[in-house]
Amino acid sequence: MAAVKSMNKLYGVCVHAARRTAGLKASRLLQHRAFRVGAVQRQQPFDSSLEKPQFPGASAEFVDHLEFIQPNVISGIPVYRVMDRQGNIIDPSQDPQLSKEQVLNFYQKMTLLNTMDRILYESQRQGRISFYMTNYGEEGTHIGSAAALDPEDIVFGQYREAGVLMYRGFPLDMFMAQCYANVDDLGKGRQMPVHYGSKDLNFVTISSPLATQIPQAAGAAYALKRENMNRAVICYFGEGAASEGDAHAGFNFSATLECPIIFFCRNNGYAISTPTNEQYRGDGIAARGPGYGMLSIRVDGNDVFAVYNATKEARRRAVAENQPFLIEAMTYRIGHHSTSDDSSAYRSVDEVNYWDKQDHPISRLRHYMTARNWWSEDDEKSWRKQSRKTVMEAFERAEKRLKPNIELMFTDVYKEMTPNLNKQRDAMWRHMKQYKEHYPIELFDKEPISQ
């Protein structure tokens, strides 16, 4: 009898424990679901007595007349700006009130980027590097947005955001090392030029396929949200990349998962040779934001202060409210798409000259500084000479460095070399020895590789 009572008591304890465990699991599941579908929980309670649409997929009213929504339902999203083309502040309340030192830093970074572009572009034309992409005309979008971010925020670039990395402190020597694919290159010579990256500066390495960074950035932002890190992600892309399916996926995931991310579109007028009037029929890229449930703004990308203000506010709210923002920066690509492109085949010299001479972000900021006696013609000449000298010195150092060890082609995929990789490596060395006159291996580093 005592044994039976003991068994009953043990059974009761087990049942209680099982119920408690089940209750905890259910509670955790509900918490998990609440985290994932917070937006659904905010829907109004269902009331069948109301004569209004109850469909879960949209918030709307019934109408009794047939009418298609016109694409120009909004007459055109306005372009936010702070300065006019002569560098005058239009509305003092929008002046970011940056110090002289900050503004000078903006200007020097923009002009240093411009100088680096000119030297590396000519380097490619002389056959010293294989490829290059300039940033002419878009310097304001880089520096204005980079200055508004926290250094811990994660950057996903497309391929024309070198100024963002420069503002974060990426040295000229490392820009040169990457373009020359020498032994100092963080990517070990495996990427084509302008595919920069820096783990220390939270700048994800550029990849060539268009728009792949957009859903990746959405995933990174979701991870930051789950970790409650008070960090944001910024994802740069062009208006051409916005036509890719990856853009839709990234926008939709970010909105439905409520991610702290800034989508920054550089609308520079051309996707290689495709002008915007052949790229889309709607009102640019900012107009797409509301369709995904994203707050959106269109800014003058040649106004570094407008870019700064918009990015700073978007970053603040993205972190505080866990929601995505879309910024469309209207600018103009003054240079060719790349050294593989000749833009004179699809646009006029007069068109390019207008943006270069009349509405350039560098000249606009210079007007602003000159009006405050922060910059003079002597300062300009001195800085241009100094910056060119600095870039040329980095250029010359990079050109003299060895190429990375050839065997680095086979590392960093697996922890240990696999049999098939060993076989490929041996075949490569046999080939190079047989045709050694075609392979100047003396130009490559020979330091042993640590596995």
- Active site annotation includes 48: no
Residue 435: exposed, middle, or buried by beta-carbon count in 10 A (0-12, 13-18, 19+)?
Answer: exposed
What lies within 8 Å, CB to CB, of 445 at 6+ separation is 183, 402, 403, 404, 405
Q: What is the DSSP code (8-state) at residue 300?
A: E
Active-site entry in 27, 32, 59, 122? 122
Between the CA of residue 270 and those of 213, 279, 347, what are the distances in Å? 20, 9, 10
Task: Tally Cβ neighbours within 10 Å of residue 241.
Answer: 21
Contacts of 97 (CB under 8 A, 6+ apart): none
**Active-site residue, selected from the candidate residues 296, 337, 360, 387:** 337
d(CA 269, CA 351): 11
Exactly one of 254, 338, 343, 387 is catalytic; name it: 338
Clarify whether 338 is annotated catalytic. Answer: yes
Report strand pairing: 295-300 vs 274-275: unpaired
> Counting every residue, how long is the chain?
451
Residues 10, 398: Cα–Cα separation, whole Å: 76
**Which contiguous run of DSSP H or E holds residue 299?**
strand 295-300
| Cα–Cα distance for residue pair 272/287, rounded to 1 Å | 22
Contact assessment for residue 175 and residue 394, using Cβ atoms and an 8 Å cutoff = yes
Q: Could you say which of 208, 344, 376, 382 is catalytic?
A: 208
Instruction: Mark whether 208 is an active-site residue.
Output: yes
H or E segment to which residue 167 belongs? helix 162-167
Phi, psi of 333 (to 5 degrees): -85, 100
Active site residue 61: no
Site of tokens 């240990």 = 416
Asked if 327 contacts 297 with a C-beta cutoff of 8 angstroms, the reply is: yes
Name the strand (E) or helix (H) holding 354: helix 349-357
Q: Which residues are catalytic?
A: 122, 208, 337-338
